[in-house]
Amino acid sequence: MPTGSFDYAPEGSILADLPAQIGAYRYDASEEGQAAYTFLPNIYCLQVQSKEGPEPSTAQFQYILDDSSLNASEGDPEDQDETFPSQFEELWPLESPASEYKVVAGDRMVVLETDPEGNQRVLWDGFAQIPQVDLSPRSQSVHFVGVGVAIRLWDSVIGGRVQRDGSKPTAVGTATSAVPTDLPTRFNPADPRNEAGLANCTPDDCDETLEDEDENEYPVFLDPHIDTPADSTTDYRSPAPSPEVPYQTYWTLGKAVRYLLATANIGRDDNDDLWVDNPDFSVLDDLFKNFKPSGSFYDPGDSSTYEAKDILIRDYDATNKPLPEVLWDLLAQNGFRYRFVTEGQAGEPNEDGTTTETPYTYIDFYRFDADGPTEPKQLRLPVSRSDLDPSGCNVSSFSAVQDLNGLVNQWEIETEPIRYEVSVLLAPGFEPTNGDEVASTSTRQKFLLSNLDNATGAEREKYRLWIANEAGQDGYWSIENQAFRKPKDALNDPIDFTDVFKPHDSQEKDADDPNYVERYRPGANRLLSLDPSGKPYRAQLAFSRDYAGADPPCLWDGTGTWQVINGSYRILREKLGIYITAESPEAWEIGVPGPDETKIEISGSLHAITCLSNPSGSGGSKQQQQFWLRLTTVIEGDHCLDAVAEDRPASPYPFTVSRRIDAKDHFKKEVIAKCSAFNTSGDEIVSRDDSDEALAYARQYRSAHEFPPLAGNAHIPWFTRSYSVGDRIDEITGRDVDLQTNAGAEQGEGAYYPFVVAVTWDFRGNQQSTTLQLSDRRTEPRHI
């Protein structure tokens, strides 16, 4: 086989070339091919700009107002009916005469590029919207701005939600599986009564199917309060879930975006096509995930370096907002972006063999991190003193700023303090006096509720106030020592919560550092423990006559025989304790115990004065013996759940810049302490822990903010379609300038490059150009 070789040294590009042929056309979607377009020879396209996010593309047009261009068509040049409008009064006012060469608001227009062979490609598609006139002594001009077809997404706002019948939460495709309502479209609403977000999405794998060619699937809303039946064998709903799995699920980013696109993107053109086409829903759930790094570094393009987790939406109400703005609200803060893409679809060839594209617009979502939608692209700038060669240089000007002021590399989730269900022994918050039990106006009757209006502060609390002294500033009666402990008494001991409040694993503390601060902790009336029907128990007060544990106030140690008190007290709102509200503490109506309850006092009444002021011994009357009170309630700890996305070595900033996100309405941790009367396990029970979900939320914020944005712009001195919104620029070749903004590439960290957030094609004057804006549409630094 003969062999040979040759050297190929192409000549450099020419320094100047013909500009792209750009034309403005009126577009009629009911026609096909070239017939859909009507060329507007008196309108000049000045600029087309595309941007990321909830901003439709725009195009600026200008009328050619020139009396010399009077011949609009063949015929008598003096026939004014065949001339272009040449005065502003013929174009700008709403009442100006109609003309085929005049564009009115709402006209559909397309900007086409015609190549030397005559093939036409779509550059922009939209509607004429904003006419403007500028008149001066020396000139007049009439401009108008066109807005991309995506503007049709702003024609309506999101209204009521689509919800499924509560009786058939897993049924799909029926008349009642997706019922339109006027109820607010609110995802995972917070509920102050439950102090957490409510799940109100339909179960997974029970999605509705959109009537489109992709048969995209989407979830709908479900009543957050319907209960899963405890006994699935008698459940008439089919298929019945296991009792532990509720029907409702939380809205994730993926599910919410699918729902919004399916129910709110409904505007259609005359051909019954969506103005802005939806993406394939099947990829959205996987796209909108948070990546938990397996180590210190991770590469979003390599799934072995991370664990993907769903991102839950916090309480968000989308009602009365346009769809694009809702999408931006949900996605941008979590490190995702979207763009409206207008492309041309090739149709049948024209009679002359050329092709004319048909405009097509769709919405495209992408990650705003090292796993962008396309492979990174380059700008070209040769080293100084190189030969001028357009093929090796496409940048005529470039400016950029790396905004480290905008960097936050550590995020912490603020939640409500961890809540603990505890049982505490209360101490009398008063000093009993022997003789108070005697029935006279100067003693026992003094403490009647009807007599308290004129009573002193001490008398109002006497025999009624029972406390835990958790702040160490309350006086209380020591039952064991039969002595009153004043607030500053050395023997005045606040209740010890050490066995309840445990430090976070991440907390750096010495053994002597306290786990909590002594402060007031009012009890809640709703417990964490659930009754057999799945509802939380109410706070419980009980009394005992044989308790032999530590002297109150203290945590319950599990000893003693206790009878529940069913009435005539209220939980204090300013501190941990109760206040007896009976007419007379001596006749404290506590309710008669039921047949299955512990019976200590079956008369239904406690002598809360005699039992303290003059208690009988163990051999005396049972009704006059000392009693102890145990309150089971829920109190706050001092720390939120542990959800800190710490700074990573990949962040190029040497300092840790930390911020907190207020998520008190959504994530929580609840613990049933070992001392709770409803906890028979012998150890604390964590009844709810959203730490993983909160951490995933924090990590997503970190991903979105841990690298400094490289903001700036690059100016290319010709029209080019090589760069689009959403592209990444990784380097300036020639000069070998690496635009990576994060560290750790050698350790496997995915490279993070600036994104193109806006592309502007300028056709003004004698030179066409393309301007790219990077990462942020400004160059000045911004302080957080």
Partner 1 sequence: MHDDIRILRDRDQAAQRDIDRLSDSAPGGSRSLLCKTTTVSSYPTAAQAFYAVFNVEADGDESEGSSATLTAGTDAFYAWNCGSAIPPSGTCVIVHSVAGKMVFEFNG
Minimum separation from the CB atom of position 461 to partner 1 (A):
17
Single out the residue of 678, 675, 426, 418 nearest to residue 575, CA to CA.
Answer: 426
Amino acid present at 283: V
Q: Between residues 204 and 597, which has the closer beta carbon with respect to partner 1?
A: 597
Minimum separation from the CB atom of position 449 to partner 1 (A):
8
Measured distance CA(281)–CA(218) in Å, rounded: 8
Minimum separation from the CB atom of position 616 to partner 1 (A):
12
Minimum separation from the CB atom of position 675 to partner 1 (A):
21
Minimum separation from the CB atom of position 359 to partner 1 (A):
41
* Backbone dihedral region for residue 263 (phi beyond 0: left; psi -120 to 50: alpha; all else: beta): alpha
In this structure, the number of other CB atoms found within 10 A of the CB of residue 344 comes to 20
Please provide the DSSP assignment of 367-416 as one string.
Answer: ESSSS-SS--EEEEEPPTT----GGG---SEEEEEE-GGG---EEEEE-P
Q: Between residues 294 and 603, which has the closer beta carbon with respect to partner 1?
A: 603
Q: Between residues 145 and 539, which has the closer beta carbon with respect to partner 1?
A: 539
Tokens encoding 326? 């809702």
Tell me, what DSSP letter sits at residue 547?
Answer: -
Q: Between residues 195 and 693, which has the closer beta carbon with respect to partner 1?
A: 195
Which runs of E-coded beta strand occur in 597-728? 605-606, 628-636, 644-645, 658-662, 669-672, 685-689, 710-716
Minimum separation from the CB atom of position 580 to partner 1 (A):
9
Q: Between residues 484 and 579, which has the closer beta carbon with respect to partner 1?
A: 579
Please answer whether residues 755 and 376 qualify as being in contact, where contact means their C-beta atoms are separated by less than 8 angstroms: no
Minimum separation from the CB atom of position 191 to partner 1 (A):
9
Minimum separation from the CB atom of position 608 to partner 1 (A):
9
Minimum separation from the CB atom of position 695 to partner 1 (A):
20
Please answer whether residues 123 and 22 qualify as being in contact, where contact means their C-beta atoms are separated by less than 8 angstroms: yes
Alpha-carbon distance values, 270 to 29, 30, 149 (Å): 7, 7, 13
Q: Position of tokens 């919004």?
A: 260
Single out the residue of 141, 49, 63, 125 nearest to residue 99, CA to CA.
Answer: 63
Single out the residue of 751, 14, 729, 773 nearest to residue 374, CA to CA.
Answer: 729
Minimum separation from the CB atom of position 223 to partner 1 (A):
20
Q: Between residues 334 and 742, which has the closer beta carbon with respect to partner 1?
A: 334
Phi, then psi, of 699 in degrees rounded to 5: -65, -35
Please answer whether residues 135 and 65 qualify as being in contact, where contact means their C-beta atoms are separated by less than 8 angstroms: no
Minimum separation from the CB atom of position 317 to partner 1 (A):
13
Q: Between residues 607 and 674, which has the closer beta carbon with respect to partner 1?
A: 607
Return residues touching partner 1 (CB under 8 A): 192-193, 195, 439, 444-445, 522-526, 538, 566-571, 573, 581-584, 586-589, 591-592, 599, 601-605, 607, 609-610, 621-623, 662, 664-665
Q: Between residues 572 and 671, which has the closer beta carbon with respect to partner 1?
A: 572
Q: Between residues 156 and 333, which has the closer beta carbon with respect to partner 1?
A: 333
Tokens encoding 502? 């445990």
Phi, then psi, of 109 in degrees rounded to 5: -130, 150
Q: Between residues 622 and 764, which has the closer beta carbon with respect to partner 1?
A: 622
Minimum separation from the CB atom of position 696 to partner 1 (A):
20
Chain length of the chain = 784
Which residues does residue 292 pair with via DSSP β-bridges, in sequence order? 307
Phi, then psi, of 191 in degrees rounded to 5: -135, 105
- Sheet of strand 737-738, all strands in order from the earlier edge strand to the far edge: 377-381, 729-734, 737-738
Q: Between residues 268 and 622, which has the closer beta carbon with respect to partner 1?
A: 622
Measured distance CA(292)–CA(298) in Å, rounded: 9
Which residues does residue 140 pair with via DSSP β-bridges, in sequence order? 135
Q: Between residues 526 and 778, which has the closer beta carbon with respect to partner 1?
A: 526
